[in-house]
Structure 1
Amino acid sequence: MNAIDHNKIDKDLLVLEEKLSENDDINKQPPDDIISFNELRSCADLLRMYTDNQLKIDPDFQRNLVWTAVEKTRFIDSLTKQLPIPSMCISLDYKTDKRLVIDGLQRITTIVSFLNQDSWQLSKIDDVDERLSGKTPEQIKIDNPEIFSKIQNLTIPITVLRCDYSKKSHMEYLFTIFHRLNSGGSRLNNQEIRNCIYSGNFNNLLKEIADAPISKNIFNYSKPNLVSKKTKKNVKPYRYQYEELYLRIISFSVKLNDYDGKLSKFLNDFMGDNRDASLGETQKWKNNLLKTLEIAQKDNRLSRLSKSVNEAILFGIYMNLDNSELESEEILIAKITSLLEQPEFSLISLKEGLASKDKVIGRLSKAIQIFE
Structure 2
Amino acid sequence: MTDDQQANSTDPEDLEDSQPEDSSQVVDLDTEVDEVDSDPVHAEDALRYFGADFDVDGLVKRLNNETFIIPTFEPINSEEMAGFEGFQRGLVWKKPQMDRFIESILLGYPVPGVFLVELSDRRYLVLDGQQRMTTLQAFKTGYWRTPRGRSKFSLRYVGDEFKGSTYENLDPKAQRLFDNTFIQATIVVPKGPDGKRGVYSLFERINSGGTNLKPQQIRVALYAGTTVNFIRDLNQDENWREVFGPHNKDLKDHELILRALSLMPVARGTKSFRPPMARYLNDYLEIYQDQLPPDAEGVRSRFERAAQLLNEARGRAALRLRGTQINAAHTDAVLVGLMTALTQADLDADNVREALETLTSNDDYLNAVSESTSHSDQVSLRIKLATRAFMGESLADEQG
> Deviation at 1:107?
0.9
Q: Which residue does the alignment assign to 1:249?
A: 260
Match for residue 251 of structure 2 among 240, 245, 258: 240
Quote the Cα distance in structure 1 between the aligned partners of 2:46 and 2:346.
54
Cα distance in structure 1, aligned partners of 2:54 and 2:160: 24
1:35 CA displacement: 1.7
Q: Which segments of 5 or more consecutive residues in structure 2 lack a partner in the other structure?
A: 1-25, 75-87, 144-150, 322-326, 392-400
Decide whether aligned partners of structure 1 residues 184 and 19 sit closer, same or farther in structure 2, where only a CA change above 3 A counts.
same
Query: Which one of the candidate residues 289, 304, 308 is aligned to 1:294?
Result: 308
In the alignment, the residues of structure 1 paired with residue 154 and residue 369 of structure 2 have an alpha-carbon distance, to the nearest angstrom, of 50
Query: Deviation at 1:290?
Result: 0.8
With 178-187 and 188-197 compared, the bigger mean Cα shift is at: 178-187
**What residue is the counterpart of 2:196 in the other structure?**
171
Instruction: Give the structure 2 partner of residue 90 of structure 1.
Output: 116
2:353 alignment counterpart: 333
CA contact (8 A) 1:201 1:282 kept: no
Matched, 1:138 2:138: no
SS of alignment partner, residue 32 of structure 1: helix
The count of residues paired between Structure 1 and Structure 2 equals 335
State the secondary structure of the residue aligned to 2:169.
helix
In the alignment, what sits opposite 1:318? 339
Which residue pairs with 1:40 in the alignment? Answer: 53
Q: Which of 127, 132, 141 is matched with 1:116 structurally?
A: 141
Q: Is the 8 A contact 1:59 1:66 kept in 2?
A: no
2:392 is aligned with 1:359: no
Measure the CA separation in 2 of the matches of 1:134 and 1:24.
Answer: 50
Q: Which segments of structure 1 move beyond 6 Å, counting only runs of 4 or more?
A: 61-65
Structure 1 segment 1-372 matched on structure 2, within 5 A: 17=29, 23=35, 25=37, 27-32=40-45, 34-58=47-71, 60=73, 66-93=92-119, 95-117=120-142, 120-127=152-159, 129-130=161-162, 133-140=163-170, 144-164=171-191, 168-182=193-207, 185=210, 188-219=213-244, 221-223=245-247, 238-254=249-265, 257-278=271-292, 282-300=296-314, 301-305=317-321, 306-327=327-348, 329-347=349-367, 349-372=368-391
Name stretches of at least 5 consecutive residues in structure 1 with no aligned partner. 1-13, 224-236
Q: Residues 282 and 323 (structure 1 numbering): CA distance in 2 closer, same or farther, change over 3 Å?
A: closer
Matched with 2:6 is none
- 2:127·2:213 contact (CA, 8 Å) conserved in 1? no
TM-score w.r.t. the length of structure 2 is: 0.74
For the aligned residues, what is the CA RMSD? 3.0
Contact 1:317 1:371 in 2 (8 A): yes
Partner Cα separation in structure 2 for residue 111 and residue 126 of structure 1 = 16
Secondary structure of the structure 2 residue equivalent to 1:138: coil
Contact 1:34 / 1:170 at 8 angstroms: preserved in 2? yes
1: CA distance, partners of 2:212 / 2:56 = 26
Length-normalised TM-score, structure 1: 0.79
Bigger proportion of residues as helix: 1
For residues 128 and 90 of structure 1, what CA distance do their matches in structure 2 show?
35
Letter of the 1:302 counterpart = A
Q: Are residues 284 and 45 of structure 1, via their aligned partners in 2, closer, same or farther at CA, if it must alter by over 3 Å?
A: farther
Q: Which amino acid aligns with 2:108?
A: Q
Partner SS state of residue 97, structure 1: coil
8 Å contact 1:24–1:179 — kept in the other structure?
Answer: no
Shift of 1:27: 2.0
Aligned-partner residue type, residue 276 of structure 2: K
Q: Is the 8 A contact 1:102 1:181 kept in 2?
A: no
Work out the percentage of aligned pairs sharing the same amino acid.
21
Q: Distance in 1 between matches of 2:376 and 2:46?
A: 32
